[in-house]
Chain A
Amino acid sequence: MKEFKVTPIRNGTVIDHIQAGMALKVLRIIGVKGEVSSTVSVLMHVPSKKEGWKDIVKVEDRELDPKELDKIALISPDATINIIRDYNVAQKFIVEVPSRVKGIMKCSNPGCITNKNEPVEAEFVVESKKPPSLRCVYCDRTTTDIADSII
């Protein structure tokens, strides 16, 4: 039987160990919507040695900025980032859930002042990293449904 594999990328980023089912959300975070100019590979529900199943996203010619890394950490705290340069892994690290986040997600409380037309970015204190739980600095509401709140 012929096996199809995703080919290695020359330059870009491999986001591995994404929590199964979160790959499409990761795509949204890194801004992959409809049209792309480089190859993007998405593998969903791949067997994982670490924990049952995982998703993988490979993007060519693209490295992630710190805000994108923070967002990925919040929805998938075990994800690993492999930065590929000239077919080699130039850097490999596990994403890190920050202790405080600002400007990357909105408050899940519709009554929160940060959801109104005010010149502030929503800001949160991370109360628990695994699973992530964030408390709004303004309204004090705790959000656990992170994926839907990411901007």
Chain B
Amino acid sequence: MSEAFKGMDIVSIRDFSREQIEHVLNVAERMVPIAKGEERSRELEGKILGSLFFEPSTRTRLSFDAAMTRLGGRVLGFDAPGGSSVSKGETLADTIRMVDGYSDVIVLRHPQEGAARLAGHFADKPILNAGDGAGQHPTQTMLDLFTIRKAKGKIDGNHVVVLGDLKYGRTVHSLSEALALFGAELTFVAPPTLQMPKEHVKRIEEMGLKPKVTSSLSEAMKDADVLYVTRIQKERFPDPAEYQKVAGIYKIDLDMLKDAKSDLKIMHPLPRVTEISPEVDATEHAMYFEQAFNGVPVRMALLSLVLGGSK
């Protein structure tokens, strides 16, 4: 199985079969002690990661840096294209061809949808998509799946409630499709103006599932095993008045969790604003900081696999 990953571009979660995703999660599991610094690895010693962040990022960029460094590799790149040739009008294709010559693997975050696929056409080295505009963010999806599997022992059979901005939130589109691939039960909770786009619901139905679509969180919460909360992103609203109408509509606090299952796990891709009250952080429900950590072993697994390290 590992051999199939060597040299592969990681662009969209749709490019992967269930078996391939499970293999990544298994490799990630083996990476946890190294990610925590309990064991040392030189697996990617001498290898260079080209890290191109055309948009600001904290978690994704740092966890890729940590992942490469924990495996003994080095990182070069930028996280603000202001001072680079990009600001002089260089095309992405040219930037990629240049970095392709300087590194062994490339991580790319870019504001334009389809940027990672384009990069894959111009690079000989593997491309890892770290988010392309409102498009795909496959490594986030994989770390979300890893977190659910770690918390619940398995992915299938869990009732996952996905809450928040389901219209514009890129993580929830690919996550819900991946969850459907694993046969998880899905409920989408959002105000009607931010509900899951119909084409995504249809795609999930075509995979044999019947996701519930509602604006009532309390109803959906009762038998939820996982609550996946997303931030309503102010920057996606052209009209501030429209944002004000929906901002703060759902808030997870201790009162809200009274009727939830005792083993309910709450996830959030972070950063959060007001959607999860800090009082929830100390409960057994909170998984979001562990989820953020899981970005490291999952990205270690992917780096190792595309560079032909892991067996």
Q: Which A residues contact B (CB, under 8 angstroms)?
A: 107, 109, 111-114, 116-120, 136-142
The distance from the CB of B216 to the nearest CB of chain A, in whole angstroms, is 30
The distance from the CB of A25 to the nearest CB of chain B, in whole angstroms, is 26
Segment touching A, from B112-120, B250-258, B300-308: B112-120
List 29 A-B residue pairs with CB atoms under 8 Å apart, sorted by A's residue number. Answer: A109-B113, A111-B113, A111-B133, A113-B92, A113-B110, A113-B112, A113-B114, A113-B118, A114-B118, A116-B112, A118-B91, A118-B92, A118-B118, A120-B93, A120-B118, A120-B121, A136-B114, A137-B114, A137-B117, A138-B113, A138-B114, A138-B117, A138-B118, A139-B113, A139-B114, A139-B132, A140-B12, A140-B14, A140-B114
**Interchain CB contact under 8 A, B91 and A112:** no
- How far is it, in angstroms, between the C-alpha of A117 and the C-alpha of B121 when the chains are bound? 16
- How far is it, in angstroms, between the C-alpha of A52 and the C-alpha of B93 when the chains are bound? 49
Residue of A with least CB distance to B120: A138
**B111, B113, B199 pick with most chain A CB within 10 angstroms:** B113
What band does the interface of chain B fall in when counting residues whose beta carbon is under 8 Å from A? 20 to 34
User: What are the 8 closest A-B residue pairs judged by CB atoms, nearest first?
Assistant: A138-B114, A139-B114, A139-B113, A113-B112, A113-B114, A138-B117, A113-B115, A111-B113
- How far is it, in angstroms, between the C-alpha of A107 and the C-alpha of B135 when the chains are bound? 14
- Which applies to chain B's interface (DSSP): helix, strand, loop or mixed? mixed
- Known A119-B93, A139-B135, A140-B12; judge A112-B114 contact (CB<8 A): yes
Q: Which B residues contact A (CB, under 8 angstroms)?
A: 12, 14, 91-93, 110-115, 117-118, 121, 132-136, 199
**Interchain CB contact under 8 A, A118 and B113:** no
**Which residues of B lie under 8 Å from residue A107 when comparing CB positions?**
114
Known: A113-B110, A113-B132. 8 other contacts (CB 8 A): A107-B114, A111-B113, A111-B134, A137-B117, A138-B118, A139-B114, A139-B132, A139-B135
- Which applies to chain A's interface (DSSP): helix, strand, loop or mixed? loop
**Which residues of B lie under 8 Å from residue A118 when comparing CB positions?**
91-93, 118
**Interchain CB contact under 8 A, A141 and B113:** yes
Choose from A114, A117, A119, A142 the contact partner of B114 (Cβ within 8 Å). A114
**Which residues of A lie under 8 Å from residue B115 when comparing CB positions?**
113
**Interchain CB contact under 8 A, B112 and A111:** yes
The distance from the CB of A115 to the nearest CB of chain B, in whole angstroms, is 8
**Which residues of A lie under 8 Å from residue B136 when comparing CB positions?**
140
Residue of B with least CB distance to A122: B114
**Interchain CB contact under 8 A, B199 and A112:** no
**Interchain CB contact under 8 A, A117 and B133:** no
**Which residues of A lie under 8 Å from residue B121 when comparing CB positions?**
120
Residue of A with least CB distance to B14: A140
**Which residues of B lie under 8 Å from residue A111 when comparing CB positions?**
111-113, 133-134
**Which residues of B lie under 8 Å from residue A137 when comparing CB positions?**
114, 117
**Which residues of A lie under 8 Å from residue B93 when comparing CB positions?**
118-120
The distance from the CB of A78 to the nearest CB of chain B, in whole angstroms, is 26
**Which residues of B lie under 8 Å from residue A112 when comparing CB positions?**
112-114
- Known A112-B114, A118-B118; judge A142-B199 contact (CB<8 A): yes
**Which residues of B lie under 8 Å from residue A140 when comparing CB positions?**
12, 14, 113-114, 135-136
The distance from the CB of B4 to the nearest CB of chain A, in whole angstroms, is 21
- How far is it, in angstroms, between the C-alpha of A141 and the C-alpha of B134 when the chains are bound? 11
Residue of A with least CB distance to B118: A113
Residue of B with least CB distance to A137: B117
The distance from the CB of A109 to the nearest CB of chain B, in whole angstroms, is 6
Residue of A with least CB distance to B117: A138
**Which residues of A lie under 8 Å from residue B117 when comparing CB positions?**
113, 137-139
- How far is it, in angstroms, between the C-alpha of A107 and the C-alpha of B117 when the chains are bound? 14
- How far is it, in angstroms, between the C-alpha of A116 and the C-alpha of B132 when the chains are bound? 14
- How far is it, in angstroms, between the C-alpha of A137 and the C-alpha of B199 when the chains are bound? 17
The distance from the CB of B13 to the nearest CB of chain A, in whole angstroms, is 11
